[in-house]
């Protein structure tokens, strides 16, 4: 049996999305920029996918621009604002952003852009007083993620926007991990720019979108043809966009029901872990969090060993964000919430999704306690210590 508990890394393609994509691939090869019927048909299909993604975000159709990934949307947001406001050279972001923001920041710092990193408390919530004090007339943008990919903590984006508005500063939000896991409404959030990705909502990989609020002036990111209304050149990933649109449509239809069920499964998993395994620590905020994610420390152990032992039983979990799980580096997110490196190295991330069942939870709770007991015996862990 295969138990897939790594839905924050990526989600399985919904079969209905796969059907839609296959049907499209077989029928539609036209270039959406062509003005004859073969091309026009594809353009219309892209328009309805854009409508679906916009609908799921509470945005207008004209505010959604397709990109090649969530990472690209994050890069466009920051570098687009810097190019639009060349006189402003400062960006404020949080200490626990995804590498799509933090590694981009490292790159831009070398080019003279100054980044200020808002610290977080032990549950992963940003320090709003620090944020307030960090804004200067040089600030071009505040970029704060919505839900954290590793610990699931959800940031107070509306308050971030209120602070930014006092200073006339634009706000970008990386919502790649909250899209599908929370009711996203760009109007309620009040942000100017927001990134999402297809493969986190049971859609295909290699397609994302950037919401650009109507009236916000943003430089194009990729220059060339007039695709995406001249904002993101390159012949469209038509099949990816079709899949993303269908995934967004399904989200609007059944997203809330899915979330409640996933939340209950995750809660029973958490209770099972807490009651069967001594001395575990659950990271992240207890309430302000997406309901599918658990990040658990097993003091005395190495997360890699737990992950590999689970893998031999057919269970997939992660040691951190997918992008950093192959590196030796300790998760910066876990360090930022104040964990000691040896505790951070003992954490695994369990993230549930639409296709998980009660049986998955039962299998996991049967395998994990045994694995932990064995590994703790080898590591001479003293639970009384
Ligand atoms: N931002 C966050 C918070 C993410 O979790 C991810 C992916 O894990 C990304 C951005 C990058 O999205 P993509 O994989 O579409 O490039």
Give the pLDDT confidence of 40-99 residue by residue, as tens digits: 999 999 999 999 999 999 999 999 999 999 999 999 999 999 999 999 999 999 999 999
Q: Using the CB atoms, write b or e for 158-177: b if 16+ within 10 Å.
A: eebbebbeeeebbbbbbbbb
Show Cβ contacts of residue 131 under 8 Å, excluding neighbours closer than 6 positions.
92, 118, 142, 160, 163
Q: What is the pLDDT of residue 328?
A: 59
Q: Are 11 and 25 in contact (CB under 8 A)?
A: no
**Could you tell me if the CB of 100 is within 6 A of ligand 1?**
yes
**Could you tell me if the CB of 75 is within 6 A of ligand 1?**
no
Per-residue confidence at 379, pLDDT binned at 50, 70, 90?
A: confident
| Interval between CA 164 and ligand 1 midpoint (Å) | 24
pLDDT at position 196 over 70: yes
What residues pair up with 222 in beta bridges, in sequence order? 232
Catalytic site includes residue 323: yes
Could you read off the pLDDT of 168-191 as tens digits, one per residue? Answer: 999 999 999 999 999 999 999 999
Could you read off the pLDDT of 11-24 as tens digits, one per residue? Answer: 999 999 999 999 99
- Which is the closest atom of ligand 1 to the Cα of 74? 10
- Which residue ranges does the chain devote to CATH 3.90.1150.10? 3-10+255-379
Domain 3-10+255-379, what fold?
3.90.1150
Q: What is the pLDDT of residue 384?
A: 64
Q: Which two tokens stand for residue 151?
A: 């610990």
Mean pLDDT in residue range 139-165 = 98
- Which is the closest atom of ligand 1 to the Cα of 208? 15
Q: What is the pLDDT of residue 349?
A: 98
| Interval between CA 100 and ligand 1 midpoint (Å) | 7
- Which is the closest atom of ligand 1 to the Cα of 322? 8
Mean pLDDT in residue range 340-363 = 97
Q: What is the pLDDT of residue 329?
A: 78
R_g of the chain, CA atoms, integer Å: 21
**Could you tell me if the CB of 54 is within 6 A of ligand 1?**
no
Q: Residue 139 is inside which H or E element, if any? A: strand 139-143
Mean pLDDT in residue range 317-324 = 66
- Which is the closest atom of ligand 1 to the Cα of 205? 15
Nearest-CA residue for atom 12 of ligand 1: 70
Backbone phi, psi, residue 241, to 5°: -65, -40
Count helices and strands in the chain by DSSP H and E runs? 12, 12
- Which is the closest atom of ligand 1 to the Cα of 10? 8
Nearest-CA residue for atom 6 of ligand 1: 176
Nearest-CA residue for atom 4 of ligand 1: 176
**Could you tell me if the CB of 149 is within 6 A of ligand 1?**
yes
Q: What is the pLDDT of residue 385?
A: 64
Could you read off the pLDDT of 241-251 as tens digits, one per residue? Answer: 999 999 999 99
Q: CB count, 10 Å around CB of 241?
A: 25
**Crossing angle, helix 358-379 and helix 238-276, to 10 degrees?**
60
pLDDT at position 252 over 60: yes
Of these residues, 22, 173, 219, 323, which one is catalytic? Answer: 323
- Report the chain's mean pLDDT, rounded to a whole number: 95
Q: Ligand 1 pocket: which of 69, 78, 98, 103 to mutate (most atoms <8 Å of CB)?
A: 98
Domain 15-250, what fold?
3.40.640
Mean pLDDT in residue range 224-247 = 97
19-27 long-range contacts, Cβ below 8 Å, gap at least 24? 20/242, 20/243, 20/246, 21/204, 21/239, 21/242, 21/243, 21/246, 24/238, 24/239, 24/242, 25/239
Q: What is the pLDDT of residue 321?
A: 47
- Which residue ranges does the chain devote to CATH 3.40.640.10? 15-250
pLDDT at position 320 over 80: no
Cα dist from 269 to 157, 201, 373, whole Å? 29, 22, 18
Could you read off the pLDDT of 262-287 as tens digits, one per residue? Answer: 999 999 999 999 999 999 999 999 99
| Interval between CA 174 and ligand 1 midpoint (Å) | 8
Nearest-CA residue for atom 8 of ligand 1: 9
Q: Ligand 1 pocket: which of 75, 100, 149 to mutate (most atoms <8 Å of CB)?
A: 100
Per-residue confidence at 322, pLDDT binned at 50, 70, 90?
A: very low
């Amino acid at each position: 049996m295969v138990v897939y508990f790594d839905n924050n890394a990526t989600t399985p393609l919904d079969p209905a999305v796969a059907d839609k994509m296959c049907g499209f691939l077989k029928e539609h090869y036209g270039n959406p920029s062509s003005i004859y019927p073969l091309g026009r048909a594809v353009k219309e299909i892209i328009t309805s996918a854009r409508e679906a993604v916009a609908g799921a975000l509470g945005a207008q159709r004209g505010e959604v621009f397709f990109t090649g990934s969530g990472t690209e949307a994050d890069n466009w947001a920051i570098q687009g604002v810097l190019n639009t406001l060349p006189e402003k050279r400062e960006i404020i972001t949080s200490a626990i952003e995804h590498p799509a923001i933090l590694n981009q920041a490292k790159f831009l710092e070398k080019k003279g852009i100054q980044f200020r990193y808002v610290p977080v408390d032990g549950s992963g919530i940003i320090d709003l007083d620090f944020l307030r004090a960090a804004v200067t007339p040089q600030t071009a943008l505040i970029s704060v993620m919505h839900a954290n990919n590793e610990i699931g903590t959800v940031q107070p984006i509306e308050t971030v926007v209120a602070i930014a508005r006092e200073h006339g500063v634009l706000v970008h939000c990386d919502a790649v991990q909250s899209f599908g896991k929370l009711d996203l409404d760009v109007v309620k959030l009040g942000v100017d720019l927001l990134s999402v990705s297809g493969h986190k909502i049971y859609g295909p990989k290699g397609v994302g979108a950037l919401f650009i609020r109507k009236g916000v002036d943003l430089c194009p990111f990729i220059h060339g043809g007039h695709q995406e209304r001249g904002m993101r050149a390159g012949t469209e990933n038509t099949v990816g966009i079709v899949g993303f649109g269908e995934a967004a449509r399904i989200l609007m239809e059944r997203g809330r029901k899915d979330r409640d069920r996933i939340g209950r499964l995750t809660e029973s998993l958490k209770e099972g872990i807490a009651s069967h395994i001594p001395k575990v620590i659950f990271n992240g905020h207890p309430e302000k969090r997406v309901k599918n994610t658990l990040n658990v420390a097993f003091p005395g152990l190495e997360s890699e060993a737990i992950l590999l032992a689970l893998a031999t039983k057919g269970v997939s979990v992660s040691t951190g964000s997918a992008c950093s799980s192959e590196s030796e580096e300790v998760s910066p997110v876990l360090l930022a919430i104040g964990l000691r490196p040896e505790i951070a190295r003992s954490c695994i991330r369990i993230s549930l999704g639409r296709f998980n069942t009660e049986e998955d939870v039962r299998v996991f709770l049967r395998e994990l306690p045994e694995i932990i007991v064995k590994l703790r015996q080898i590591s001479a862990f003293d639970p009384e210590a």
